[in-house]
Amino acid sequence: MASRSSNSNRTRVGKYELGRTLGEGNFAKVKFARNVVSGENVAIKILDKEKVLKHKMIGQIKREISTMKLIRHPNVIRMYEVMASKMKIYIVLEFVTGGELFDKIASKGRLKEDEARKYFQQLINAVDYCHSRGVFHRDLKPENLLLDANGVLKVSDFGLSALPQQVREDGLLHTTCGTPNYVAPEVINNKGYDGAKADLWSCGVILFVLMAGYLPFEESNLMALYKKIFKADFTCPPWFSSSAKKLIKRILDPNPSTRITIAEVIENEWFKKGYKPPSFEQADVSLADVDGIFNEIGDSGELIVERREEGQPVAPVTMNAFELISTSQGLNLSTLFEKQMGLIKRETRFTSKSPAKEIISKIEEAAMPLGFGVKKNNYKLKLQGEKTGRKGHLSVATEIFEVAPSLYMVEVRKSGGDTLEFHKFYNSLTTGLKDIVWKTGDEAEERKGGDGPDGVVASN
């Protein structure tokens, strides 16, 4: 039964207590959740059943989810179980706390070759294992490479990337599946492609970025970018070793039939240096829950019932300690309210001591002159850009949480559109919010020195 317990004002889905939204798109959301029986933190991906039916995707999704449940690999995000209500499908996933691998590059610059190789080996391990089970990612990119608390690489969204293009939490319309800079030329061509070869190309782009600190193919004009990708028009920087250059050139071969295979990559001398094959056990897994969620005629007792609270909440949701920790990298709480300037993120936060209703009206006042329509839902706002940007209309979700008496955390998330445009919008928005952003004594001193917007933190 999904219900809200009156004391905590939280939605329950089965044995999971739902918390803050970690990511969202047009038809899917990922929420932080806690298993109230074991106390374990998880992420729950919530899909809209109606959209799945409308796109005639049931067979494919059932196949993908079944396969994903069977995949147990140290470098792939675990899928624990699947549940459904009348309207939604809930996919319960492993929650990792180390942030995105690419945050390391954004904050510290490119990686040394040995460190880049270590992550590349883990990436290839994950991709090769999933391919052997018939699962292809089709959209390998920075946001899908996460780190756990021990710095182990975890590939997320494996097998779920073949869902309809709208059901992606980045909210973008993928005309060709994937993010253009990371996509193989044959995928852009749209004439059918080998999933394994296309995934390997994306791995090659990722390796280049890890070692170079920038993309091999980068153009502001999409057609110019495609031309570069079709010709594999890129240059390795001088600090790459000659053996790394050779391997990258063999992976980024625009002709899929002559491109190196994953089996050949694993035998490559550069790749093999310091290589440790993954060790893991295959456990017995039941697929009964997967069958249950798609069994429309089946016993309705298998379905979770969602109950919404009557009336309007009188205050924002209080963020508990588990969620507060989940907002920071690993268990290092110092990053929670720490300024990290210069990073382009899809989510930022600020803190405020102003009353929650005042925060809402100030955001509304600041957003409207910037050309954004505002929809209010209790202590959440949806801001929709009126202009069409590089990747459609920019849409932004904001939510207010109480983290202590009279102290609020405001999350501002991109739910659709271009990340760079979101960053510019956020900088403009904070200019209009100076009065309500809470500054510590040190930050107030810094402010006098004209050090940009304060109280702003970037999320992992």
As beta bridge partners, residue 35 has: 16
Q: Of 438, 411, 422, 437, which Cα lies nearest the Cα of 349? A: 411
Pairing assessment for the beta strands 88-94 and 380-389 based on DSSP bridges: unpaired
- In the numeric block, the tokens 């918390």 are attached to 19
Q: Which residues of 204-218 are buried (b: 16+ CB within 10 A; e: fewer)?
A: bbbbbbbbbeeebbe
As beta bridge partners, residue 382 has: 375, 397
103, 128, 139, 199: the active-site residue: 139
Q: State how far the alpha carbon of 429 is from the alpha carbons of 72, 350, 369, 370, in Å.
A: 43, 12, 10, 8
Q: Of 62, 68, 64, which Cα lies nearest the Cα of 80? A: 68
SS3 328: coil
128 is catalytic: no
Record the tokens describing residue 11, joined without a space. Answer: 């939605």
- Contact predicate 353/438, CB 8 Å: yes
Q: How far is CA 29 from the centre of its chain?
A: 10
- Contact predicate 443/454, CB 8 Å: yes
- In the numeric block, the tokens 């089965």 are attached to 14
One-letter amino acid of 13: V
- Contact predicate 75/55, CB 8 Å: no
CA distance 351 to 366: 16
Record the tokens describing residue 317, joined without a space. Answer: 């949701």
Annotated catalytic residues are: 139
